[in-house]
A and B are shown apart, each in its own frame.
Chain A
């Protein structure tokens, strides 16, 4: 299908919106009426037609606007994109992976022509048409990782693998949920996850690391994670928290449905062929509460998940203060009826709201 790219903003006037298609394919993250951390990994080998899982790197209606927002973040703070010197090869691996995937998955939007090391890359939505020499940094306007991730939705962590651990040694991080690449760069898997509550004690990170270390080329994996964001703000960085934090207090019972957003991360994991690094894209999808409750099952379920979430998690995810107001809104969409198992909205079979 052809994608109509939205002309929209993720700051100031927040003109971001989801079309009906975007709502229908939103990655609702709760497969049951409660939530706790788990190593919820599965293979990333496609998915239902037109779902966000179908392609290796999903391109949607927000693509052009998200790339515009990324360019603004980088102009304000170039430290959001960093790569330690030994990670350049992994950057080329990543560039190749994305160019090959996008040109195969979206031939109408992206083209890659290769003649030996002489490559020709065409990105139609962003109006880019570049010739360069693969593995020759001087032929690109940025380093390879920065070049390609300025053209790809989602944050990117490029992880070096050594000493039976993963090291956050490069990244493009402009839409992060409260963590700083500039602070965490160079850390190992346990160190950069240090501030996450409960999960260490549950052994989550030990199991997750074991899984990730064994990911093979051509067999990527994925999982979902989620948090909450007031306004469709992509740049919820700690760097700018002193500027955006105040927005959390702008929610009222009247505007909550449009201001409060569920923020879902599609995290995928790909082994890179030359460097043996692991790339970990974190793709952010935003949806307002009023759009979520347009799916009866999602409205019922979100109310129960938020209501029953342990306090530590609501605090860590940054919405403990607004939780009562969120519940007041969501309770109107929960009639206590049973929900079917799984994340899909099941609009044909789920009973209509009884209140």
Chain B
């Protein structure tokens, strides 16, 4: 089962739901890894949805691609990474007409970044559906150097940009699509507790 029950958390972190087919002229679905399962479930619940759907999928090593293609969406694209898919996503959003429904599923990093692009294109974040599936890794911004470290699952961790030892702060920015990471050993350099997996 790829669904994870997030513990009760602070007010800035996003709350994810379960994708529901909404009436619309067209449907844009962006997913990574196990997020594919949310789209497969959605398609099963709503016949005919795929006729007007565009699926953008980033497998991240999973093999859901074939099942998604078998849904026969109007358009299907598979990208090797989110950055690789980004210009396409921007183009699709720029061309979007009234009545487009947006569905995001998969990791928090994918949903956050895609939601951010949709917001830049003028969509209200509350009008964009999200469903978390798969890894609970977080996308982290180092508050010191501003560099983003993707898919952080261990806390504390080392910033891949500046090398500082960072802890995962439970504070989320929609604009950055990232949680905040803060130096853990500033007051006692070198004293870094052993890393533990998030939510463990």
A242 and B171 contact, Cβ closer than 8 Å, known pairs A200-B11, A249-B188: no
**Complex CA–CA separation, A245 to B165 (angstroms):** 14
In the complex formed, the residue of A with least CB distance to B164 is A242
Tell me if B141 and A183 are in contact (CB < 8 A): yes
Contacts of B171 in A (CB 8 A): 183, 194-195
Tell me if A241 and B141 are in contact (CB < 8 A): no
**Does A187 make an interface contact (CB < 8 A)?**
yes
State which residues 186-215 of A face B: CB under 8 Å. 186-187, 190-195, 200
Tell me if A241 and B175 are in contact (CB < 8 A): no
**Complex CA–CA separation, A192 to B175 (angstroms):** 12
Contacts of A240 in B (CB 8 A): 144
Tell me if B164 and A184 are in contact (CB < 8 A): no
In the complex formed, the residue of B with least CB distance to A189 is B11
Most buried by B among A180, A183, A191, A192: A183
Q: Give the number of chain A interface residues (Cβ < 8 Å).
A: 27
In angstroms, how far is the closest chain B Cβ from the Cβ of A46? 35
**Does B130 make an interface contact (CB < 8 A)?**
no
**Does A185 make an interface contact (CB < 8 A)?**
yes
State which residues 149-184 of B face A: CB under 8 Å. 164, 169-176, 180, 182-183
Tell me if A191 and B186 are in contact (CB < 8 A): no
Contacts of A194 in B (CB 8 A): 10-13, 170-172
**Does B146 make an interface contact (CB < 8 A)?**
yes
Partner of B10 from A183, A195, A245, A249 at Cβ < 8 Å = A195
Q: Give the number of chain B interface residues (Cβ < 8 Å).
A: 24
Determine chain B's interface SS by DSSP, over half rule: loop
Contacts of B10 in A (CB 8 A): 194-195, 200
Contacts of B169 in A (CB 8 A): 195
Tell me if B186 and A246 are in contact (CB < 8 A): yes
Partner of A183 from B143, B164, B188 at Cβ < 8 Å = B143
- What sequence of 0s and 1s flags, for each residue 232-251 of chain A, a beta carbon within 8 Å of any chain B beta carbon? 00000011111111101100
A186 and B13 contact, Cβ closer than 8 Å, known pairs A241-B182, A242-B164, A246-B187: no
**Does B189 make an interface contact (CB < 8 A)?**
yes
Tell me if A186 and B173 are in contact (CB < 8 A): yes
In the complex formed, the residue of B with least CB distance to A245 is B186
Number of A-B contacts (CB under 8 A): 68
**Does A58 make an interface contact (CB < 8 A)?**
no
Partner of A192 from B12, B13, B141, B170 at Cβ < 8 Å = B12
Contacts of B189 in A (CB 8 A): 246
**Complex CA–CA separation, A246 to B185 (angstroms):** 9
**Complex CA–CA separation, A246 to B187 (angstroms):** 4
Contacts of A104 in B (CB 8 A): none
In angstroms, how far is the closest chain B Cβ from the Cβ of A80? 12
Partner of A184 from B144, B146, B173 at Cβ < 8 Å = B173
**Does A346 make an interface contact (CB < 8 A)?**
no
In angstroms, how far is the closest chain A Cβ from the Cβ of B7? 15
In angstroms, how far is the closest chain A Cβ from the Cβ of B187? 5
Tell me if A186 and B144 are in contact (CB < 8 A): no
Most buried by A among B169, B175, B180, B187: B187
In angstroms, how far is the closest chain B Cβ from the Cβ of A45? 32
Contacts of A244 in B (CB 8 A): 186
**Does A8 make an interface contact (CB < 8 A)?**
no
Contacts of B174 in A (CB 8 A): 186-187
Tell me if A183 and B187 are in contact (CB < 8 A): no
Contacts of A243 in B (CB 8 A): 186
Partner of A187 from B12, B182, B188 at Cβ < 8 Å = B12
**Complex CA–CA separation, A79 to B189 (angstroms):** 26
Tell me if A242 and B175 are in contact (CB < 8 A): no
**Does A182 make an interface contact (CB < 8 A)?**
yes
Partner of A242 from B12, B144, B146, B172 at Cβ < 8 Å = B144
Contacts of B172 in A (CB 8 A): 191, 194
6 more A-B residue pairs beyond the given contacts A186-B174, A194-B12, A239-B143, with a C-beta to C-beta distance below 8 A: A79-B146, A194-B172, A241-B183, A246-B187, A246-B189, A248-B187
13 contacts across the A-B interface (CB closer than 8 A): A183-B180, A186-B173, A186-B174, A186-B175, A187-B175, A191-B11, A191-B12, A194-B12, A194-B171, A195-B170, A238-B143, A243-B186, A321-B187
